[in-house]
Structure 1
Amino acid sequence: MSAAPAEKIPAIHDFDFIHGRWAVAHRRLKTRGAGLQNDTASWDEFDAVASCEPRLGGMANIEEMHCPARGWSGMAVRTLNVASGEWSIYWVNSLDGVLQPPVRGRFAVDGCTLEGPDTDNGRPIIARYIWSDIRPDSARWSQAFSYDDGATWETNWIMDFTRA
């Protein structure tokens, strides 16, 4: 049995929008899990730059994020499970070098939602990444954690991407 060419795999182009160079505006909660997300003083805002390139004919991509104002950089590795049509995103940063557990999900008409188990300062959580407002020159990524097995969610990080 031969593998289908990459261009024949329906989800292969889902993340094509993120390829290229980006200016990224970050808005991140200073303290997660404290229920303070409506207090504007609780948010840290800073800028970064990112670049993303496809790999394996589009079945994967690698994004590098540089945050000089905060003294760290990070890398996302996205991979497509061809059989299930599901994407996985793995994250590692220069602060600790630890590859985080993946979040998994798929695209729908309004974007992509990916989830997976993780921990936050030793507390078990479900992490959720949402890609939304995807346009040719902009996109939004947000991260939310659930500390109660998905009953409630706290958005703790928002990144607005603008094509450089």
Structure 2
Amino acid sequence: MTETSDATSTGRDAFDVVLGEWHVSNRKRVDMLDQDSDEWVEFRSRGVHRPLPGRAGNLETYETYEMPGVGEFHGLALRLYDPAEDIWRIWWSSSLTPGKLDPPLEGRFDAGRGTFVTDDVIAGRSIRVRFVWSDLGVDRASWEQAFSRDEGQTWDTNWVMNMTRAEG
């Protein structure tokens, strides 16, 4: 049975649809900073999203043992909802940069699409980073990461994840 949802939730419950365990198909540019590169890799991973107490947000653990050029890779996303500002903040950390949290991305959902942005410095370059959550449903979700070198005028997508819910 395939259930679907338009996931038009906003505010505190916007990420509820992704709670649970997911199989992830990844497509990632080998050099995420080289917008002219057309070399991409594909691999599988697993994500588990758990609610935080008091519905303050959620925590995602991400793992793969087959990321090309890396092998074993682990990540963690902490997502917190700020009801006073009606925004979500997303912090990311991974096994590639142990002991560090990336600057939080901020944003919200509108008509089933969540857009979150921040400014960061990656490999010495000032970069605007964007996460987009879309196609949210009971059994599927999509996420993409893009970088902008011109303060958001143009975006270069460098990582796409298509998720399907793991069978219970």
TM over 0.5: yes
After TM superposition, the runs of 4+ consecutive aligned structure 1 residues lying more than 4 A away are none
- Secondary structure of 1:17's partner? helix
Counterparts in 2 of 1:1-164, with a 5 A limit? 11-36=11-36, 39=38, 42-69=39-66, 70-97=71-98, 98-164=100-166
Whole-angstrom distance in 1 between the partners of 2:34 and 2:65: 27
Paired with 2:35 and 2:147, the residues of 1 have a C-alpha distance of 11
Per-residue CA shift, 1:59-115, capped at 9, x if unaligned? 210000011112110000000011011000000012222110010001100310000
Q: Is the 8 A contact 1:66 1:73 kept in 2?
A: yes
Counterpart secondary structure, 1:149: coil
Conserved? CA contact 1:50–1:65, under 8 Å: yes
For 2:45 and 2:54, the matched residues in 1 are separated by 27
User: SS where residue 142 of structure 1 aligns?
Assistant: strand
Distance in 2, Cα, partners of 1:27 & 1:119: 23
Q: 5+ unaligned residues in a row in structure 2: which ranges?
A: 1-9
Q: Which amino acid aligns with 1:121?
A: A
- Distance in 2 between residues matched to 1:49 and 1:60, nearest whole Å: 20
- Segments of structure 1 that go 5 or more residues without pairing to the other structure are 1-9
Q: Say which structure, 1 or 2, has more relative contact order (CA 8 Å, 6+ apart).
A: 2
Q: Displacement, 1:116? A: 0.6
Instruction: Determine the C-alpha separation between the residues in 2 that align with 1:53 and 1:109.
Output: 23
Structure 1 residue 57, shift from structure 2 partner: 2.4
CA deviation digits over 1:8-28, x for unaligned, max 9?
xx7221100111000011111
Asked if 2 retains the 8 angstrom alpha-carbon contact of 1:65 and 1:75, the reply is: yes
Aligned residues: 152
The CA deviation at 1:151 is 1.8
